[in-house]
């Protein structure tokens, strides 16, 4: 048997502790699978005295995580600190420069610096592995980069944030408003005290940028991702969606066409007949459309100690076996610079909810605004209320270019009888 592969772990939070526990509990089977022993040789975290429920006594403790990059007894640096920049980025760069492999769960760092890191690691002849950065325990990176390597991928999309999916699922199932469910998530520890990273779509956008690079062999371009969160989704929208035969999900969608690369994260109405509409709770799901394999669906837990540690160790095993694959589907030098497709050029169908006072001529004004921007209405739902009260009116619009929809809604919002900002949700017939 080959000499042991020795790993150093930076960050002993939920995922770091899960990773240590997996090596301790499954060390023998991991060694058989890898063809060599997997050993933890060093660890680093901010607080050495914190109670973590695991025995760290046999590992070398380093107060400064950067020292893992030059530690002689470390072959693989496992970076679980997090953050797009700072010590996490410095550690990965230093480890690569010192000829060490890197395994990370850091989606923000990859989304912002992944292309440069790919060039560095491939030049140094080491691996930069990040299965744990996207969709937790779902092996989506391996699936896209290796299992579907013979396919031309045209689209990849999915539910990429468990917190948002939990909130939207609870709203739909329990008939509760967004703020109420979010508060419960925070009390249960499913959401942070400041939940903006999740509910404003940033976390999902980081993951989508990574998936797009792997799926299409393109340079990462996080700045080109259109990002909307779920703060504006109301229970009323949920109820209308159900009536129309849809469910609302926060989706990340990336696709390529002759116009370039479209990357977008936003709430979507998806038909109840679509498999992804039934992915509930905190689960994630990723779907890839290939020209030979056709549509492949991946579903599972997207976060948590066990699933994410499982993905970390899967990467460690690949390194132990000597598996060498390009960081993002193709060698870094061959990554394409794809033209971003502006969201204003997106074509699709739309749900629009208006709150308006029913006055004579108001529907004629709305129809005129739609006509001015060449937008065609498919259906209308209206609720009656007491005279003088604002009435919800829902329209679904035929497939059209988003620029026209936004122009029409700006004109409609200026109508005196419209008392709230129009709410628009894109319809995706997946």
Residue 367's Cβ-count burial label (10 Å; 0-12, 13-18, 19+) is exposed
From start to end of 258-407, where are the E strands? 260-271, 283-290, 294-301, 347-356, 377-382, 391-401
* Comma-separated ranges of CATH 3.40.50.720 domains in the chain: 5-133
| Pairwise CA distance, residues 213 & 118, whole Å | 11
* Comma-separated ranges of CATH 3.30.360.10 domains in the chain: 146-301
At 387 the pLDDT is 64
At 385 the pLDDT is 65
Q: Which residues pair with 287 in a beta bridge?
A: 157, 297
What residues in the chain have per-residue pLDDT under 70?
Answer: 1, 385-388
Residue from 89, 100, 107, 207 carrying the catalytic annotation: 207
- The answer to whether 424 and 354 have CB atoms below 8 angstroms apart is no
Phi, psi of 357 (to 5 degrees): -90, 125
Task: Kindly report the pTM of this predicted structure.
Answer: 0.95
- The answer to whether 386 and 421 have CB atoms below 8 angstroms apart is no
| Pairwise CA distance, residues 229 & 153, whole Å | 26
In angstroms, the Cα distances linking 347 to 76, 215, 323 are 45, 22, 41
Residue 6: active-site member: no
At 359 the pLDDT is 83
220 sits in the region (left: phi over 0; alpha: psi -120 to 50; else beta) called: beta
Q: What is the pLDDT of residues 168-224, one digit of tens each?
A: 999 999 999 999 999 988 887 778 889 999 999 999 999 999 999 999 999 999 999
Paired sense of beta strands 101-104 and 128-129, if any = parallel
| Pairwise CA distance, residues 421 & 406, whole Å | 12
Q: Please tell me the CATH code under which domain 345-427 is placed.
A: 3.30.70.260
- The answer to whether 91 and 68 have CB atoms below 8 angstroms apart is yes
Q: Please tell me the CATH code under which domain 5-133 is placed.
A: 3.40.50.720
Q: Residue 82: which residues within 8 A CB-CB, separation 6 or more?
A: 11, 88, 105, 106, 108
Secondary structure (3-state) at 254: strand
- The answer to whether 209 and 134 have CB atoms below 8 angstroms apart is no
Candidates 307, 107, 302; CA nearest to 211 is 107
- The answer to whether 30 and 313 have CB atoms below 8 angstroms apart is yes
146-301 folds as: Dihydrodipicolinate Reductase; domain 2 (3.30.360)
- Altogether, the residues listed in the chain come to a count of 430
Question: What residue has token string 């504006």?
Answer: 232
Candidates 50, 24, 27, 22; CA nearest to 38 is 27
Q: What is the pLDDT of residues 109-122, one digit of tens each?
A: 999 999 999 999 99
Paired sense of beta strands 377-382 and 347-356, if any = unpaired
* Comma-separated ranges of CATH 3.30.70.260 domains in the chain: 345-427
Q: What is the pLDDT of residues 42-58, one digit of tens each?
A: 999 999 989 999 999 99
**Lookup: tokens for 127:** 């691996």
């Amino acid at each position: 048997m080959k000499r042991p592969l020795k790993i150093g772990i930076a960050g002993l939070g939920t995922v770091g502790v899960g990773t240590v526990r997996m090596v301790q509990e499954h060390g023998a089977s991991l060694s058989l699978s890898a063809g060599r022993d997997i050993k933890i040789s060093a660890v680093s975290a901010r607080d050495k005295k914190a109670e973590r429920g695991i025995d760290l006594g046999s590992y070398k403790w380093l107060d400064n995580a950067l020292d893992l990059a030059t530690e002689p007894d470390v072959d693989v640096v496992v970076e679980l600190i997090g953050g797009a920049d700072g010590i996490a980025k410095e550690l990965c760069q230093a480890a690569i420069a010192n000829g060490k492999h890197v395994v990370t769960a850091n989606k923000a760092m990859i989304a912002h610096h992944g292309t440069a890191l790919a060039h560095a690691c491939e030049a140094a002849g080491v691996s930069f592995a990040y299965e744990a950065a996207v969709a937790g325990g779902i092996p989506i990176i391996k699936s896209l980069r290796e299992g579907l390597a013979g396919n031309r991928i045209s689209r990849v999309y999915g539910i990429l944030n468990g917190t948002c999916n939990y909130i939207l699922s609870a709203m739909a199932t329990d008939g509760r408003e967004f703020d109420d469910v979010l508060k419960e998530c925070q009390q249960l520890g499913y959401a942070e005290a400041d939940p903006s990273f999740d509910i404003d779509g940033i976390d999902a956008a980081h993951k989508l940028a990574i998936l797009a690079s792997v799926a299409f062999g393109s340079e990462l371009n996080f700045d080109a991702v259109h990002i909307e969160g779920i703060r504006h989704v109301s229970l009323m929208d949920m109820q209308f969606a159900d009536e129309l035969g849809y469910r609302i999900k926060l989706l990340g969608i990336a696709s390529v066409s002759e116009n370039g690369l479209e990357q977008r994260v936003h709430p979507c109405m998806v038909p109840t007949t679509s498999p992804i509409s039934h992915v509930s709770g905190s689960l994630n799901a990723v779907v890839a459309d290939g020209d030979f394999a056709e549509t492949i669906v991946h579903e599972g837990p997207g976060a948590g100690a066990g699933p994410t540690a499982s993905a970390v160790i899967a990467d460690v095993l690949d390194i132990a076996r000597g598996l060498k694959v390009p960081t993002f589907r193709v060698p870094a030098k061959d990554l394409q610079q794809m033209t971003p497709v502006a969201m204003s050029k997106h074509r699709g169908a739309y749900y629009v909810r208006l709150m308006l006072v029913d006055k004579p001529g108001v529907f004629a004004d709305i129809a005129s605004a739609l006509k001015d921007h060449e937008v065609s209405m498919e259906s209308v739902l209206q609720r009656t209320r007491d005279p003088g009260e604002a009435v919800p009116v829902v329209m679904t619009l035929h497939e059209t270019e988003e620029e026209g929809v936004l122009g029409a809604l700006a004109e409609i919002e200026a109508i005196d009888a419209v008392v709230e900002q129009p709410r628009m949700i894109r319809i995706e017939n997946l």
